[in-house]
Amino acid sequence: MAPPCGGILKAAMALSGAQTAGEMGPSSRGGSGSSAGKNPGARPVEKTFYIETFGCQMNAHDSEKVIGTLEHQGYRQVQSEMEANLILYNTCSIRDKAEQKVFHRLNDFKKYYAAGKRFAVLGCVAQQEGERIFERAPYVSIVSGSASYRKLPEMLRRLEAGERHITGLDDRQTEETFETEFTRRSNPHRGYITIIEGCDKFCAYCVVPYTRGKERSRTGSSVVGEARRMAASGYTEVQLLGQNVNSYRDPEGKLSFAELLGAIGELDGIRRVRFTTSHPRDFTRDIVEVIDRVETLCDHVHLPVQSGSSRMLQAMQREYTMESYLERIAWIKSARRPISITTDIIVGFPGETETDFGQTLDLLQRVQYDAVFAFKYSPRPNTPALAMPDSIDDEEKSRRLQRLLEKQREIQRTNYANHIGQVMEVAVEGFNTQRGQVIGRSSQNKTVNFSARQAIFPAPGSYLPVQITNSFPNSLVGEAVQ
Ligand code: SAH
Ligand code: SF4
Ligand code: F3S
């Protein structure tokens, strides 16, 4: 299963046709818009960009919007820093290592500033560090958080006009969402739709409320409209996104989150609807009911718990108890459909005792999750947890993480083995030509590697019934059914 956050997501996209336009870099300073046409003697320099994306699916989708916006401004995407004259890093600051990676990356490429390359830092590190990025890396030209992306065209014009340091740091005041008709989705079959941005929950350990602004939803009608347009252009799977997707509140007051799920699931052409991430506090029973009722809604809920100890949940300011979390798990498990449940866990939060940690292990045993994304607690700037006593040393955090992952591996070994003999619908995603296998995904979001009897592989984006013949803790193996 793909992790809900972390890691580098390289946007590999088909390139649009080359366009020539203004030049960036030292030679363009002072030019207004630096249109190559204004100086007949100068060779037009193509505007090219490279973008690298870190972090969660919301960042991945923001990059698709940024790419579309850049293309609309006459830029062409290239596949390496070396080919680009504008390098953008869309950053994540959820844990400290992700942030360090960004500065390392910038450091590797700063030597090319003199040759005309320009750098933009976008996303959560940009919002968190703000103008301090210019102090640490003066060769960076643009620092912009996600709440300011709608101003990107203007920022690019200022960059082309030779401005050295441009910021877009709209904070929690903004009411606007980043909607753009230029979104350049990287996959022609399944695509993201952000339905709610920001976060108002302020968990004690988390940077997101400071980096993504306050919670703001798109109207239900615009979300359904976008899904309908996607279906009309060949998309069969949509994934609704939000830091807390189920905290969605339609500004027009027409659709609840469950109703929105149902409305999208019932659109012609849509075969699968996913949504992530659900916050336990706002998880209502009608979500389970709509999954039971609308076949296209996938059999999967990602419901991060963070800890199995109510004491820790309170210290983390999660706004639910173990009891209420388990009530929601019971709703999901009582559904008619086999809804897969996955979660996120933080080990080593300040003050976590062996007893608290033991309760988290008990919770894994009780829920039998299909996947757990577990993280060592990482102290983050501005967060209340920074000031909390009883920090746990890194070795102990690592030990707890290992124990937890080992336990979860055994649970998954059994869960995945339970599918042997079943026939399930699999969405084809790609191939492993060396092994002669097709790679796909089940409704429960499990990876299925299978062989097809035909000489030709089925096309990505198609759906096939597959009989499961073998299993591993993280994937299933099968054969396409004739
Ligand atoms: N909004 C979602 C989670 C978004 S962040 C929710 O509240 O459930 C994704 C995951 O990163 C979190 O679920 C948490 O497990 C992890 N995370 C966030 N801040 C962290 C920190 N400071 N240290 C370690 N893990 C963290
Ligand atoms: Fe972070 Fe908590 Fe908001 Fe999730 S709900 S993004 S963990 S503050
Ligand atoms: Fe990272 Fe920001 Fe997402 S901190 S996880 S990119 S919201």
Question: How many A from CA of 94 to the centre of ligand 1?
Answer: 7
Sign of the dihedral defined by the CA atoms of residues 349, 354, 360, 364, in that order: positive
Residue 1: predicted pLDDT: 54
Tally of domains within the chain = 3
Among 417, 441, 459, residue at a domain's last position = 417
Give the ligand with the smallest distance to the CA of 373.
Answer: 1
DSSP H helical ranges for 212-353: 220-232, 257-265, 285-293, 310-315, 322-333
Pocket test for ligand 3, best of 52, 56, 96 (most atoms within 8 A of CB): 56
Query: How far is the C-alpha of 358 from the C-alpha of 308, rounded, in Å?
Result: 8
Residues 256, 316: one domain?
Answer: yes
Beta-bridge partner residues of 389: none
Q: Are 434 and 375 in contact (CB under 8 A)?
A: no
Residue 415: predicted pLDDT: 98
Work out whether strand 237-241 and strand 8-10 pair parallel, antiparallel, or are unpaired: unpaired
* Phi, psi (rounded to 5 degrees) for 360: -65, -45
Give the ligand with the smallest distance to the CA of 94.
Answer: 3
Pick the closest to residue 305 from 191, 408, 382, 196 (CA basis).
Answer: 408
Cis link prior to 277 (omega < 30° from 0)?
Answer: yes
Query: How far is the C-alpha of 314 from the C-alpha of 335, rounded, in Å?
Result: 29
The helix (H) or strand (E) run that includes residue 415 is: helix 394-417
CA 420 to chain CA centroid, Å, is: 31
Sign of the dihedral defined by the CA atoms of residues 398, 400, 403, 409, in that order: negative
Residue 387: predicted pLDDT: 95
- Residue 3, in any domain of the structure: no
Among 103, 134, 168, residue at a domain's last position = 168
Question: How many A from CA of 18 to the centre of ligand 2?
Answer: 41
Interhelix angle 354-367/322-333, nearest 10 degrees: 10
Residue 42: predicted pLDDT: 55
Kindly report, residue by residue over 251-309, the tens digit of the pLDDT: 999 999 999 999 999 999 999 999 999 999 999 999 999 999 999 999 999 999 999 99
Residues 29, 97: one domain?
Answer: yes
Give the ligand with the smallest distance to the CA of 90.
Answer: 3
Pocket test for ligand 1, best of 194, 246, 344 (most atoms within 8 A of CB): 344
- Residue 389, in any domain of the structure: yes
Residues 450, 369: one domain?
Answer: no
Kindly report, residue by residue over 364-391, the tens digit of the pLDDT: 999 999 999 999 999 999 899 999 998 8
Q: Which residue, chain included where needed, has tokens 């500033």? A: 113
- Residue 341, in any domain of the structure: yes
Pocket test for ligand 1, best of 247, 375, 397 (most atoms within 8 A of CB): 375
- For residue 108, what is the domain's CATH number? 3.40.50.12160
Give the ligand with the smallest distance to the CA of 57.
Answer: 3
Residues 154, 232: one domain?
Answer: no
Q: Are 318 and 282 in contact (CB under 8 A)?
A: no
Enter the pTM of the model: 0.90
Residues 375, 239: one domain?
Answer: yes
Residues 105, 139: one domain?
Answer: yes
Full residue range of the structural domain in which residue 58 is found: 25-168
* Phi, psi (rounded to 5 degrees) for 22: -70, 160
- Residue 105, in any domain of the structure: yes
- First-to-last alpha carbon distance for the chain, in angstroms, is 27
Work out whether strand 447-451 and strand 437-442 pair parallel, antiparallel, or are unpaired: antiparallel
Sign of the dihedral defined by the CA atoms of residues 221, 224, 230, 231, in that order: negative
Q: Looking at the CA of residue 206, tell me the nearest atom of ligand 2.
A: 1
- Residue 231, in any domain of the structure: yes
Residue 171: predicted pLDDT: 81
Residue 173: predicted pLDDT: 77
Ligand 2 pocket residues where CB is under 6 Å: 199, 201-203, 206, 208-209, 243-244, 279
Residues 241, 338: one domain?
Answer: yes
- Residue 93, in any domain of the structure: yes
Question: How many A from CA of 383 to the centre of ligand 3?
Answer: 15
Token pair belonging to 219: 């109207």
- Residue 11, in any domain of the structure: no
Residues 367, 274: one domain?
Answer: yes
Residue 31: predicted pLDDT: 30
- Residue 13, in any domain of the structure: no
The helix (H) or strand (E) run that includes residue 45 is: none
Token pair belonging to 347: 């080990």
Residues 233, 287: one domain?
Answer: yes
Pocket test for ligand 2, best of 243, 278, 281, 319 (most atoms within 8 A of CB): 243
Residue numbers of the chain with a pLDDT score lower than 70 = 1-44, 454-455
Q: Are 261 and 294 in contact (CB under 8 A)?
A: yes
Q: Are 301 and 309 in contact (CB under 8 A)?
A: no
Q: Which residue, chain included where needed, has tokens 């399944």? A: 190
Question: How many A from CA of 243 to the centre of ligand 2?
Answer: 7
Residue identifier of the C-alpha nearest atom 2 of ligand 1: 243
Beta-bridge partner residues of 10: 52
- For residue 428, what is the domain's CATH number? 2.40.50.140
Residues 200, 344: one domain?
Answer: yes
Question: How many A from CA of 246 to the centre of ligand 2?
Answer: 13
Question: How many A from CA of 98 to the centre of ligand 3?
Answer: 10
Q: Are 302 and 264 in contact (CB under 8 A)?
A: no
Residue 181: predicted pLDDT: 81
Q: Are 310 and 323 in contact (CB under 8 A)?
A: yes
Query: How far is the C-alpha of 69 from the C-alpha of 189, rounded, in Å?
Result: 21
Find the angle CA(120)-CA(214)-CA(201) to the nearest 5 degrees. 115
Q: Which residue, chain included where needed, has tokens 């306050």? A: 214
Query: How far is the C-alpha of 326 from the C-alpha of 318, rounded, in Å?
Result: 14
Our answer on whether the CB atom of 51 is closer than 6 Å to any ligand 3 atom is: no
- For residue 390, what is the domain's CATH number? 3.80.30.20
Question: How many A from CA of 94 to the centre of ligand 2?
Answer: 10
Our answer on whether the CB atom of 92 is closer than 6 Å to any ligand 3 atom is: yes
Residue 37: predicted pLDDT: 37
Pick the closest to residue 156 from 48, 59, 246, 295 (CA basis).
Answer: 48
Q: Looking at the CA of residue 124, tell me the nearest atom of ligand 3.
A: 2
Residues 203, 293: one domain?
Answer: yes
Among 417, 449, 471, residue at a domain's last position = 417
Find the angle CA(262)-CA(263)-CA(267) to the nearest 5 degrees. 110
Residue identifier of the C-alpha nearest atom 4 of ligand 2: 243
Residues 413, 433: one domain?
Answer: no
Cβ contacts of 377 within 8 Å, gap of 6 or more:
205, 346, 347, 348, 349, 350, 352, 385, 392, 397
